[in-house]
Amino acid sequence: MFFFLILSILLGVFSWVLIKEYQIEKFRFQSKKIELTKNAKKLCKEEEILKEKIEDFKKKTSQLFAFYDTARLISPLFNKKELTTAFVDKLSSLEGIDRISLSELQGSNCHRFKINQKDDYLYLDTQSSDIFGLFPLFAKLLTVSLERLELYGRLQELSIRDYLTGTYNRRFFNQRVEEEFLRSKKLKNKLSFLMIDIDDFKRINDTYGHLVGDAVLERCASLILEGVRQIDFVGRLGGEEFGVLLTDTDKAGAIMVSERICSRISQEKIKVFDENLNITVSIGVATYPSNTIYMDLFTEIADKALYRAKDSGKDRVSWF
């Protein structure tokens, strides 16, 4: 009997301990549940705020990215000032932006940003505080567009220039001949074409080598460029042959320019390595409209005049 009494007391104590532990764990669980619920509500609220910020950011930046995609395609048609102005106009149209201007000159209270690797800067002047969060992105987009514009200009220049002489290449030069011929025909202007060939150039290459020949080509091209105006066009037609297009120039003027180029080159001693070379050129002249009114005959007449200069002894100018 005493044994059962002791057992009952122990069971009661054990049950009471289990109930207390259960109540304690239940309280802890409820406390954690309440804390997690609070944290979940806080996270939901923060998530809603973040979503609003993201949507606002997307709204602002999507317009700039859309504009950048357009600018990326049309930037070759702009110069630096026009492209910058277009970006400023776009940024000024965004919601919350009151006034903004960009300048290459620093003013009071202006914020500057770098636009290339040459330490060139533009300066931002604005009364809108909203712009400062968006401006770093704007500056980057503008920088990339300006770099693209500069690269396009360099590539375009390379695509129309002869790599050795710096004169226009044959494709671009022929295009200019056609365009200027049609323009002269429309405006009833004179137009002259010179075909220039370095005399005995094959002998120079065979005797001294191609490096000397390249140096001769470069120097002759420089002397030809020095002998014409900036509005004229000089192109390398191939090998040792150059073409010169003299705008608004009659036959007398073309002959005078040709004689000057021919004389200047013949008087030049071209120093290449240890060699001092005397170089001469022969030049054929054709003029619109005195020689022809047909474009396909324009360069052909100059070519025939060139051959006549060669046959007559070289180092001279010939025309019809």
User: Could you give the residue numbers annotated as active site?
Assistant: 240
Residues 320, 301: contact at Cβ < 8 Å? yes
Residues 302, 284: contact at Cβ < 8 Å? yes
Cβ-Cβ contacts under 8 Å for 282 (sequence gap 6 or more): 196, 197, 199, 262, 306, 309, 310, 314, 315, 316, 317, 318
Residues 141, 149: contact at Cβ < 8 Å? no
Reading phi first (left if > 0) and then psi (alpha if -120 to 50, else beta), residue 101 is in: beta
Q: What is the DSSP letter of 169?
A: P
Cα 97 from Cα 79, distance rounded (Å): 25
Name beta bridge partners: 271: 276
3-state secondary structure at position 101: strand
Looking at residue 217, its amino acid is: L
DSSP run (H or E) holding 125: strand 121-126
3-state secondary structure at position 65: helix
